[in-house]
Each structure stands twice: as structure tokens, then as C-alpha cells.
Amino acid sequence: MPTSMRRTAAVFTLPLTLAVLATPAGAAAHSAVAPARPAGLPTPITAANAKTALDALLVDEPRPMTGYSRAKFPHWSGQGEACDSREVVLERDGQDVQRDDQCRATAGSWYSEYDGRTLSAASQVDIDHIVPLANAWRSGADTWTTGMRKAFANDLQNPQLIAVSAASNRSKGDQNPAQWKPPLASYHCVYARAWVEVKRNYALAVTAPEKTALTEMLETCPADGARRGR
């Protein structure tokens, strides 16, 4: 099937996918102290399912960045009780998190899965989009509505948002797994599973080098790794 026809088919199904994802996830109940054990990134699909999903993704050249702006992916959106998506993830991924009456994290600790650093202040933490906004744009999000892009940028239900060190997030930028991988090789399995799931859920394309890198990362998953979220 010609590339243009395959892309049309993928885009045709996209609104159905995003119609479900656009429903905001319930914000964490406001409390002074978060649960003792962080929930962390929503558990991605198994390694076996990720390999199957990866094989089904459209492989294509990156689309141009013409017209791109982070403002076209509105974030962080409100999640109730003065909280926005960033604050929800900070509480979800942190330990002993305390918040003020504006839902701002004032204390706590966060373990960065990318580089193994433990952070003691929210100012040291970035909320990373597993699939970066600019990468999504080059992969097909340039055709979406603003509402679809907002759902993508604030997706709390799927393994798309994670609290990590600011240093690792800024090192990653908008690069795909062929260009950047988490410094901790032990996290490559989970990262690849999450990346593939997000691309599958949003009908986004991958480049040939990106697919190769993801395939190699999925090969690092242990036999029981498909059942472990972290």
C-alpha cells in the first residue's frame, strides 16, 4: 500500500483512539502527604505485545517541523482541586510528597528512572513526555486538532508522562530512541514498551532507525520483564 494511503488509514482511526484518551484521568485526591509507595509510570504493554505493535506501526520519514510550536500542545491542563497534570504526576511518582493549598509540591523525593538520581526538590524534577511533543508532530500529530494534541500532552492514563531529573529530560530533548536512550540500561525495556504503546495508541509513525533501536531495546527485556512495570 502506498505510504500516503497508509497514513490516511492511520489518521482515520485516530479520533476514535483520542476520544477515549481525551477523558481526563481523575486527579489524585488532595492530601498533605502522598502514599508511601509511589505508583509511578502506568505499566506499559508487555514486551511481546510491544514487539507485535511495533511491527504494525507505519515506518516513514519524519514529517517537516513547519508550523510546530509547543503551544499547539496545551499543557499542563487542570485536573481538579487546583492541580494540573504536572502536579498530579509529581505526587504520583514521588514519595512523601507534601502540597500546599495551590497543589504545589513543597516537599518530597523523586527517583529518576532515566539516570538513577534521587531528587529532593520539585524544582529539580521535569515531567517528561515519553514520546516528545516535537517527535509526535513529525510522526503525524501535525494533522491533529488542538484538542487531540492537548489530550496527548496531558495523558495520565497511558505511559506517556513520567517524573525524571531535569538534567536527563533536557539531555533527551525531542530525540527518538535511535538518538537517545535513558542512561540506565536497566530501564530500556520499560522505556521501549512505553514508547511503542504510546505510538500505537496515537497511530504515530516511526522511522526505520527508531524501529531498529526499539527492537534492540525490547530484546533486553527479561523473560518475566513483560509483567513488571518498573
Mapped to the 3 state alphabet, what secondary structure does 121-168 carry?
CHHHEEEEECCCHHHHHHHCHHHCCHHHHHHHHCCCCCCCEEEEEHHH
Whole-angstrom Cα distance, residue 32 to residue 137?
38
Residue 191 · residue 169 · CB < 8 Å: no
Q: Cell 504520583 sits at which residue?
A: 92
Decide if pLDDT at 35 tops 70.
no
pLDDT band at 37 (very low <50, low <70, confident <90, very high): low
Helix (H) or strand (E) holding 205: none
- Please report which residue ranges of 154-228 form alpha helices under DSSP H: 166-172, 188-201, 208-218
pLDDT of amino acid 39: 85
Whole-angstrom Cα distance, residue 60 to residue 15?
21
Residue 150 · residue 168 · CB < 8 Å: no
pLDDT of amino acid 48: 97
Decide if pLDDT at 3 tops 80.
no
Percentage of the chain lying above the pLDDT 90 cut: 78
Half-sphere exposure of 66 (CA within 13 A, CB side): 3
Helix (H) or strand (E) holding 21: helix 3-21
Decide if pLDDT at 225 tops 90.
no
- Per domain, the residue ranges of the chain are 3-227
Whole-angstrom Cα distance, residue 53 to residue 45?
10
CA proximity to 107, closest of 28, 32, 30, 36 = 32
pLDDT digit string, tens, across residues 171-223: 999 999 999 999 999 999 999 999 999 999 999 999 999 999 999 999 999 98
What number of H helices and E strands is found in the chain? 8, 7
pLDDT of amino acid 223: 80
User: Average pLDDT, whole number, for the chain?
Assistant: 86
pLDDT digit string, tens, across residues 22-33: 333 333 333 344
pLDDT digit string, tens, across residues 80-119: 989 999 999 999 999 999 999 999 999 999 999 999 999 9
Whole-angstrom Cα distance, residue 95 to residue 120?
10
Whole-angstrom Cα distance, residue 26 to residue 6?
35
- List CB contacts of 31: < 8 A, sequence separation 6 or more: 99
Distance of alpha carbon 40 from its chain centroid, rounded? 12
